[in-house]
Amino acid sequence: MANLFIFGLGYTAKRIKALAEAAGWRVSATGSDGDMAFGDTAAVRAALAEADYVLSSVPPDNESGGDMVLDRYGPLLGAQRLGYLSSTGVYGDAGGAWVDEASPTGTGRRTARAEADAAWLALGAQVFRLPGIYGPGRSPLDRVRDGRAHRIDLSGQVFSRVHVEDIASGVWAAIRSEALAGAYNLGDDLPCSQNLVIEEACRLLGVEPPPLQTIDEAGLSPMARSFYAENRRVANGKAKRVLGWQPAFPTYREGLAKLRDA
């Protein structure tokens, strides 16, 4: 029986865990829903010694900017195959142009993430760069229902996104196929304005879209506001070619329709 160890059993990693277990793998993890605490060094060391694959979904520390997994357990990694859930934010602003895994990184607002991304690549990990994640309980449908949806009047602004189930299937494809180390973008096939996504969510729910507003009028949080500082389209061709991955939800339309029906 193969063993998967996950640092940080959160929203996305739980789906990866489910796929691994369905395939007969034994899975251990840190996190509130895992079977051990991150700081339980003895238990983590024992699990890492038995792991065939180690996946980290732990983002850089908010205060230090460092990667907590590498800082604490880095010397124990390398004998196993490695994976890291990163972000397409490492590409920075591309002015709406397409970026792929060969594009420069580290020039955007997420410098700590870019440094962690590079550190995991240097260890020989499969690094999965993820755009905006949506899925059950975390989707434009929920924001519309809760009155938190916005349409921002910002011409030419484009985002990429991915359904959480498609992340899980992409990561699992990399694990089971023993694909080469390196970066893989896991995003859907249709980068577009967030306004179009909100409008589709409203159509599915039978409600009127919120009015167009400027960023200042919308009163966005600093984090939400920062997303509009960067503009890019994320290409997913490498993951399709190398991993044999095909998103079950190639655009937001299929993803939102499935969530609405569920």
Q: Which pLDDT does position 163 carry in this prediction?
A: 98
Evaluated on CA atoms 78, 80, 83, 84, the torsion sign reads negative
The number of distinct structural domains making up the chain is 1
Residue 108 has pLDDT above 90, yes or no: no
CA separation for the pair 255, 151 (Å, rounded): 19
CB of 247 closer than 8 Å to CB of 126: no
CA separation for the pair 209, 153 (Å, rounded): 13
Closest CA to 238 of 183, 188, 192: 183
Q: Which pLDDT does position 178 carry in this prediction?
A: 82
Long-range contacts of 42-45 (CB under 8 A, 24+ apart): 44/73, 45/73, 45/76
Q: Considering the chain, what is the average pLDDT of its residues?
A: 96
Residue 224 has pLDDT above 90, yes or no: no
CA separation for the pair 126, 103 (Å, rounded): 17
Closest CA to 144 of 208, 220, 191: 208
What CATH number does the domain containing 109 carry?
3.40.50.720
Q: What is the pLDDT of residues 137-153, one digit of tens each?
A: 999 999 999 999 999 99
Find the helix or strand (DSSP H, E) in which 128 lies. Answer: strand 126-130
CA separation for the pair 33, 201 (Å, rounded): 30
Question: How much is the average pLDDT of 22-42?
Answer: 97
Q: Would strands 132-134 and 182-185 be described as parallel, antiparallel, or unpaired?
A: unpaired
Gap between the terminal Cα atoms of the chain: 34
Question: Where residue 23 falls among pLDDT bands split at 50, 70, 90?
Answer: very high
Question: Does the model's pTM come out above 0.75?
Answer: yes
Q: Where are the alpha helices (DSSP H) in the chain?
A: 11-22, 41-50, 68-73, 111-122, 140-145, 164-177, 194-205, 215-218, 222-227, 237-243, 252-261
Q: What is the pLDDT of residues 156-193, one digit of tens each?
A: 999 999 999 999 999 999 999 989 999 999 999 999 99
Question: Where residue 218 falls among pLDDT bands split at 50, 70, 90?
Answer: confident
Closest CA to 240 of 85, 138, 108, 101: 101
Q: Which pLDDT does position 197 carry in this prediction?
A: 98
Residue 110 has pLDDT above 80, yes or no: no
Q: What is the pLDDT of residues 49-97, one digit of tens each?
A: 999 999 999 999 988 889 999 999 999 999 999 999 999 999 999 999 9
Question: Where residue 45 falls among pLDDT bands split at 50, 70, 90?
Answer: very high
Q: Tell me the C-alpha to C-alpha distance, in Å, between residue 56 and each of 86, 101, 257.
A: 9, 19, 30
Range of the domain at 172: 3-261
Residue 253 has pLDDT above 90, yes or no: yes
> CA geometry: angle at 214 spanning 210 and 215, to 5°?
100
